[in-house]
Amino acid sequence: MNDAGLAESAAEDLKWHDAMNALQPGNRLLRVVEEEVYEGRCLAKIPVALGIREPAYNRRLNVPASALERGELSIRRQAAPTPKWRNARGFEPSTKTLATAVGAPAVTREEVFSGDPYNNVSENIFSKMGRNLHHQEDHPLGIIKNVIWEYFDTLDGKAFEKFDDLKPIVSTEMNFDQVLVPKDHVSRSPNDTYYVDEETVLRCHTSAHQTETLQQGHDRFLVIGDVYRRDTIDATHYPVFHQMEGVRVFEPAEWEAAGVDGTEFAAKELKETLEGMTRHLFGNVEMRWVDAYFPFTEPSFELEIFFKGEWLEVLGCGVMQQQILDGAGGEGKKAWAFGLGLERLAMVLFEIPDIRLFWTEDERFTKQFKAGDFTPGGAGIKFQSFSKFPPCLKDVSFWVNDEFTENNLCEQVRNIAGDLVENVVLIDDFTNKKINKRSNCYRITYRSMERSLTNEEIDALQEKVRETMAGEMGLELR
Ligand code: PHE
């Protein structure tokens, strides 16, 4: 029986309908795992089926589209009789079958909207959670993810473990403290980060998972996921994007055999590994290492490549601060870590001009990408603009108050206009000394990636923006 067949029969077994009813849009069922459990402990996880995508389920199982809008992603049950070979181990384990729709476990409203005064997650952000673009094999982000994974699979030695479904809601402890982000670092500000409450955030980088994953005993791993940052609006910034983190731990014997100290050994191995990865993605390009600073690594570097006539930053990395490794059970060892943003790589490789396009479901975009077409340097996949619809520009001037920040304004505009807003830019800033007031003028560019907008709808959006500025934001419009 092929994989799909297996899954189908498992499906019946598992009352697949119930599982499907619980899926969210964009999720797909990818893994069916049998868990062998003995006295409450999981002894083994045995994959029994892989690679079934949502559309097939939709068709075969007749799941109403509306049902895909609800929570919960995994179901468990006692499985069919335990195969004989397991009894040979001398005990009677029970087996469970886990059907996991790969994806961050569904995020519920309650988890995100806490009612806490610190809570600053918007509806617009919530609507992106659980989309899991990086799980779609033929999505540009899924393609980049798999190309990088593939590269790590070619390396000698123990395989890198891969995590692409860790939950994006994490503690401030994980997101900041465990990776030594200073208490006064700007990234901790609610102007920069989405808080659920004072101690819980939407991760702003995948480094949030370094410590927990090390603590679980993993010493070579890749974590990929959606990360969230409050930011301004333009073609390359979006409040949700995707990062990949890599960590590799070394034993003293490894650097002793090489006759160098641990830091030097790790740094060298790091650079070689990442240069290989970069060639796997970009082909034979010129590269340079630039010194950098991150709170979690020392020394720290950025890798830049000369690509299509420009120097482009590919990733940040370094030798993990010993305190992090020691705190995660790695005393006496050494490690390296790197982090990269997938959207930026996909944008340059495939010539995708606007970061909003990653979120569109317009087939004129999605149908252009096929995993099998990838070639290093991206030549096998080139995005063809399907058309450029006219922009519509609106200016708004106001007296700045103490609470005003550009990020707050952008957040409000996104909430009102969603992906119809392309750019928000400060075009005038002056202080009237006589009355000691500061005036700003912002230009908002509206443009759809998919269709022409009407004047009426833009006017209505702009009117709402003005109302929100004058109301909720307490600004005096001019
Ligand atoms: N977390 C860093 C960022 O978001 C990237 C990074 C990861 C740098 C690991 C060094 C080591 O920019």
For the chain, the maximum distance between any two Cα atoms, rounded to a whole number of angstroms, is 89
Residue owning tokens 């479901």:
361
Average predicted confidence (pLDDT) for the chain: 83
Q: List beta partners, residue 319.
A: 336
Ligand 1 mutation target, pool 174, 201, 294, 320, most atoms within 8 A of CB: 294
Look at residue 83 and tell me whether its pLDDT is greater than 90.
no
* pLDDT, average across residues 295-317: 96
CA of 392 to the centre of ligand 1 (A): 36
Ligand 1 mutation target, pool 296, 302, 319, most atoms within 8 A of CB: 296
Closest C-alpha residue for ligand 1 atom 6: 339
- Please tell me the pTM assigned to this model: 0.79
Closest C-alpha residue for ligand 1 atom 2: 339
Residue 43: predicted pLDDT: 57
Least confident of 57-61, 198-202, 206-210, 450-454: 57-61
Tens-place pLDDT, residues 46-75: 443 322 333 333 323 333 333 333 322 232
Asked whether the beta carbons of 276 and 314 are under 8 A apart, the reply is no
* pLDDT, average across residues 328-355: 97
Bigger pLDDT: 93 or 375? 375
Take residue 37 and report the two structure tokens written for it.
């459990």
Ligand 1 surroundings by CB, under 6 angstroms: 205, 207, 245, 294, 296-297, 316-318, 337-339
Residue owning tokens 């790590």:
152
CA of 177 to the centre of ligand 1 (A): 14
Tens-place pLDDT, residues 16-51: 444 444 444 444 443 444 455 555 555 555 443 322
Residue 130: predicted pLDDT: 85
CA of 319 to the centre of ligand 1 (A): 11
C-alpha 401/C-alpha 438 separation (Å) is 8
Take residue 251 and report the two structure tokens written for it.
């034993």
CA of 258 to the centre of ligand 1 (A): 27
Look at residue 362 and tell me whether its pLDDT is greater than 60.
yes
Look at residue 2 and tell me whether its pLDDT is greater than 70.
no
* pLDDT, average across residues 269-286: 97
Closest C-alpha residue for ligand 1 atom 5: 339
